[in-house]
C-alpha cells in the first residue's frame, strides 16, 4: 500500500498559521471521510488531534483544524506556538487490505 | 480513563518470534476495533494490523501478512500480536491503539522490538 504524501517539513513563526497537506487517492482520502491527523513530540507516542476530516477530540485546541478537497486533506494550525513544534502525520481509511494508511510525516519547525 | 499498556518487546534474532501484548482498561474493550501501529527508528508510522470487535474481521499490512497474527481476548481485555519469521526491517516501536472511526483514538506508550543478530 502506498503511503499518503505529505511535505517533509514546514515552518512558521509564532502567531502565524501554517497548513500541512496530505494527498492520497480515490481509494482512501478521496472516497472516505475518515482522515485523521496525529501530533508526535520526540520520544512520545502519537496523539490524535483530528478525526473524520475535521473533528477534534475533547481537549484538543481549536487552533487545530482539518479539511478535505478531492484526494487532498489539510491540517491548519493557527496562532502557532512553540509547543506546536513536532512531527505531524495524516492517516486515512483505505479500501485496500490494510484498512488504514499513514502519510510519511511532516516536521513542523516554529521559528 | 483509557489506558493501553504494551509489553513483550525485546531483542530477537532474525527468523525468531515474539509475542506482543496490550492490556486495556477504562473502556468496554470488546466493543472496539483495535490496531497495531509501528514506527521504525527515525521513521514514520506504519499501520500494521487491525482486528474488529468479536474478531469478525482481521487486516494486515502487506509487509507482515503471513508472518504476523493479531488476536484478542475480550475476557482479559487484551490484544496480542504474534510475530514470526522476524526480519531486521521489523525493528520498531510497536503501539497498540483503540480505534474510533478508523482513527487511532487512544495510544499506548509503545514497546520496542529489535531484530538483530
B106 neighbourhood in chain A, CB within 8 Å? 48
Identify the closest residue of chain B to A52 by CA–CA distance.
B101
% chain B with pLDDT above 70: 100
Mean pLDDT score of chain B: 96
pLDDT given for residue A96 in this prediction: 82
- Could you give the C-alpha distances from B114 to A9, B11, B62, B107, in angstroms and in order? 28, 5, 20, 20
Helix and strand numbers (H, E) in chain A are: 0, 9
CA distance B114 to B23: 21
CA distance A51 to A70: 17
Angle at the Cα of B107 from the Cα atoms of B103 and B109, rounded to 5 degrees: 155
Q: In chain A, which among 13-52 make CB contacts under 8 A with chain B?
A: 32, 34, 36, 38, 45-48, 51-52
pLDDT in tens, B88-112: 999 999 999 999 889 999 999 999 9
pLDDT given for residue B31 in this prediction: 95
A1 neighbourhood in chain B, CB within 8 Å? 61-62
Distance from CA of B9 to the nearest CA of A (A): 16
Please give the order of strands across the beta sheet that includes A64-69. Answer: A18-23, A72-77, A64-69
pLDDT given for residue A25 in this prediction: 93
**In this structure, are residues B24 and B78 in contact, taking their beta carbons and an 8 Å threshold?**
yes
A1 touches chain B (CB under 8 A): yes
pLDDT given for residue A104 in this prediction: 96
Amino acid at each position: 500500500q502506498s503511503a499518503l504524501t505529505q511535505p517533509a517539513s514546514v515552518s512558521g513563526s509564532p502567531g502565524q498559521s501554517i497548513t500541512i497537506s496530505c494527498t492520497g487517492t480515490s481509494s482512501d482520502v478521496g472516497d472516505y471521510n475518515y482522515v485523521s491527523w496525529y501530533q508526535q513530540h520526540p520520544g512520545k507516542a502519537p496523539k490524535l488531534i483530528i478525526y473524520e476530516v475535521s473533528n477534534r477530540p475533547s481537549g484538543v485546541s481549536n487552533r487545530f483544524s482539518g479539511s478535505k478537497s478531492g484526494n487532498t486533506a489539510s491540517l491548519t494550525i493557527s496562532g502557532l506556538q512553540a509547543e506546536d513544534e513536532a512531527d505531524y502525520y495524516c492517516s486515512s481509511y483505505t479500501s485496500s487490505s490494510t484498512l488504514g494508511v499513514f502519510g510519511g510525516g511532516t516536521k513542523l519547525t516554529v521559528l | 480513563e483509557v489506558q493501553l499498556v504494551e509489553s513483550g518487546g525485546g531483542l530477537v534474532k532474525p527468523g525468531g518470534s515474539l509475542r506482543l501484548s496490550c492490556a486495556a482498561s477504562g473502556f468496554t474493550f470488546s466493543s472496539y476495533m483495535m490496531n497495531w501501529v509501528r514506527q521504525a527508528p527515525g521513521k514514520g508510522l506504519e499501520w500494521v494490523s487491525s482486528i474488529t470487535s468479536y474478531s469478525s474481521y482481521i487486516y494486515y499490512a502487506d509487509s507482515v501478512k503471513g508472518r504476523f497474527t493479531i488476536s484478542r481476548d475480550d475476557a482479559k481485555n487484551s490484544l496480542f500480536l504474534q510475530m514470526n519469521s522476524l526480519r531486521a526491517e521489523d525493528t520498531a516501536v510497536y503501539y497498540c491503539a483503540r480505534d474510533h472511526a478508523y482513527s487511532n483514538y487512544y495510544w499506548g506508550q509503545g514497546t520496542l522490538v529489535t531484530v538483530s543478530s
